[in-house]
Amino acid sequence: RCAADFQLSIASVREDSSSGCLSQDLSLQAQKLAERLKCDAVVSEISAGPGTVNFTINRELLAKAVLQQVLKEGSEYGVKSELFSTVPRQKAVIEYSSPNIAKKFHIGHLRSTIVGNFIANLKVALGHEVIRVNYLGDWGMQFGLLGVGFQRFGNKEKLKSSPLQHLFEVYVQINRAAEDENTKELAKDFFRKLEEGDEQTLSLWKQFRDLSIEEYIRVYKRLGVHFDEYSGESFYQEKSQEVLKMLEDKGLLQKTRQGTGVVDLSEKKDLSSLSTVMRSDGTSLYITRQGFLMFSFRDLAAAIDRMNKHQCDTMIYVTDKSQSNHFEHLFHILKLLGYNWAERCQHVSFGLVQGMKTRRGEVVFLEDVLNEVRARVLQNMASAKTTKQVQDPMETAEKVGLAALIIQDFRGLLSSDYQFSWDRALQSRGDTGVFLQYTHARLWSLAQLHGNEQLTDFNVACLQEPDAISLLQHLLRYDEVLYRSSQDLQPKHIVSYLLTLSHLAAVAHRTLPVRGSAPELAQARLCLFQAARSVLAGGMKLLGITPVTQM
């Protein structure tokens, strides 16, 4: 027997609910209220539970209302709900991914990329305007080292064919020689020339940056990710000097005995909470040392510039949780500078992932991860003897593999650390991305077998079995789940919903056959499965997953 559709807690509506009440009193009140309420065309049954009144919707009305709405609204089902009617449409700038040129694209960058993409997708689906920003680590002393390294070990052909790989190799080689005083001086000289705008030095740096972005765009395309703006620390050289002057003019910049520039963030102004913004030699920082968070004026300049340029309602930064203090200080200093919009800035943090390695060893580039997961899925498909039925095995394996990565990453709270497991991520049964893709492909095939028409006409009396009702009840809840994720920006609510949807659809597929059923019954069941597939596909796309139609 299916559970009731809605439940009213008596404790939540009692005027004296705070004074504490025996559970038997609440149950008695629930019983009395249930007896006084009357059923109507919408509510077919009212019953009392332990301190609750339970309402069951007319089953035929449930089937008709849910299926008609899903089939009519398609990909907009859920996002058009009245739950969002009072939510103002906003303009949001979201900064995510943000790798460092010539350094490892570590797993934190992958998390930032897929989390930021999810937040952007969700906001766009809900009618907000979104600017997706990739803020590259494209400036700093490492480019002095990289420039010297390229002059020694660089190869222009390799730079053009595989810039990220080649620059990383050069960076590793020159780092081995970085202790040498002569190399240090050459690196300082190269970066000084870069800051002064020397044409030849700047031209080489620009080549590093442009070729790297080209390759990033190609790799991001495999992830189904795009950006509206490629920004970077290099953009804010001059503007950071303006920020320095603002801090000085407002009397916010103080000097320690060592000559280090600090901003005092303590309430009592006793230097108990410092944000160090400048070395004693006048250069700015973005490193953590001795418990103090030090960061660049460039981040302040970037925030101010973005707000001036985009006039947005909110700015969201997606990085790992080790940078929480950094953003706390950043927002605090912006407020001290008089920018009250800093209260509308948000840091969405995530935990660390341990154990992600390819067969070749440690993950260095995002492409390593994508190639590894595709290879593993292809191997699984071959051993399952289903590859021959798939038109493009490589493309399918890529999409299934990406779903596996995303679902394993999004199942828990973003702020939680987790241990990555290839075996767990790639299981075809259980709560995995592979299972979601398998369910979608199965429901797609079912529609293909029976003509793949866009069905709208069905007899609701044919959808009264418990497994059909359970699926309909779950479809009804989709907007609530979207609302929860829109409030806390956690994808786990949608992931949990889609996994349950897939399990319910799998059970219904087994117990409610289409083939061999009377035409009217078959038609109604096809409508139910079509609605389930539509909602599943919509939710997967929000998470950044492209649903497959064959597996």
For 265-329, list the strands marked E by DSSP: 274-278, 287-289, 292-294, 314-320
Cα separation, 492 vs 481, in Å, equals 10
Residue in the structure block whose two tokens are 């766009």: 124
Residue 310 falls in the annotated catalytic set = no
Nearest to 102 by CA among 144, 133, 134, 132: 144
Positive or negative, the Cα torsion across 101, 104, 105, 109? negative
Exposure string for 526-540, b = 16+ CB within 10 A, e = fewer: bbbbbbbbbbbbbbb
- What DSSP string runs through 194-253? HHHT-HHHHHHHHHHHHHHHHHHHHHHHHHT---SEEEEGGGGHHHHHHHHHHHHHTT-E
Residue 106 falls in the annotated catalytic set = yes
Contact 4, 47 (CB under 8 A): yes
Cα separation, 437 vs 399, in Å, equals 9
Axis-axis angle for helices 199-223, 107-125 (nearest 10): 70
Residue in the structure block whose two tokens are 């009264």: 464
Q: How many CB atoms lie within 10 A of CB 297?
A: 24
Out of 104, 109, 166, 399, which one is annotated catalytic? 109
Cα separation, 117 vs 111, in Å, equals 10
Out of 104, 106, 123, 474, which one is annotated catalytic? 106
How far from 29 is each of 4, 33, 46, 209, CA to CA, in Å?
Answer: 19, 6, 14, 70
- Total residue count of the chain as it appears in this document: 551
Spatial CB neighbours of 329, under 8 Å, sequence gap ≥ 6: 263, 265, 275, 293, 295
Out of 64, 80, 91, 103, which one is annotated catalytic? 103
Tokens representing residue 41 in the block: 């065309």
Cα separation, 102 vs 169, in Å, equals 8
Residue 103 falls in the annotated catalytic set = yes
For 321-377, list the strands marked E by DSSP: 345-350, 353-354, 357-358, 361-362
Q: Provide the annotated active-site residues.
A: 103, 106, 109
